[in-house]
Amino acid sequence: MTKVQVKELFFEKFIGRDEIEAAVQKVADGINRDYVGKNPLLLAVLNGSFIFASDLMRKLTIPCEISFVKFASYEGTLTTSKVKELIGVGEELKGRHVIVVEDIVDTGITVHKLLEDIHKKNPVDVTLACFCFKREAFRKSFGIDYLGMEIPNVFIVGYGLDYNGYGRNLPDIYQIVK
């Protein structure tokens, strides 16, 4: 088992590049099928989703645009349950098809706030494309329209996911060693 150190914590390989690639393709296939002729706006949640959003955009065959928002709700390996908006929605969303692009949904608190904010701006529709989902940690009731994979409630880094800002550059995904 491949292990890495991120700051003072140790992680072991959990999801390899081939699985990551297949999950991204699965999400892209769904969006390509459902958004023919619609020119959606992808709204990627920084910082974590930037790699997933980039890979996803390259697999989309439909006309689309991308923009970014930034929220913070984690300190170290734990969620604070408080969402801070650092960069809000800057685009006009009225009459648009919006696809929120998120790296991971665990408690759902951050995405729930973002979805509430987006709906106030009168888009035609809003869907959620998520790379991975922790059902065991989920505390909200919204659905995920395009899901790459479901994972257990473990802390992970790599492929854009971080521990205190570090580990995003790892091409595979690693879970914390307890």
Asked if 101 contacts 146 with a C-beta cutoff of 8 angstroms, the reply is no
Instruction: Copy the structure tokens of residue 52.
Output: 């997933």
Catalytic residue, from 106, 117, 145, 172: name it.
Answer: 106
Asked if 79 contacts 112 with a C-beta cutoff of 8 angstroms, the reply is no
- Please say if 106 is a catalytic residue: yes
Integer Cα distance of 51 and 42 in angstroms: 14
The rounded radius of gyration (Å) of the Cα atoms in the chain is 16
Integer Cα distance of 46 and 13 in angstroms: 23
Integer Cα distance of 44 and 107 in angstroms: 18
DSSP states along 2-53: -EEEETTEEEEEEE-HHHHHHHHHHHHHHHHHHTTTT-PEEEEEETTTHHHH
By annotation, the residues acting in catalysis are: 106
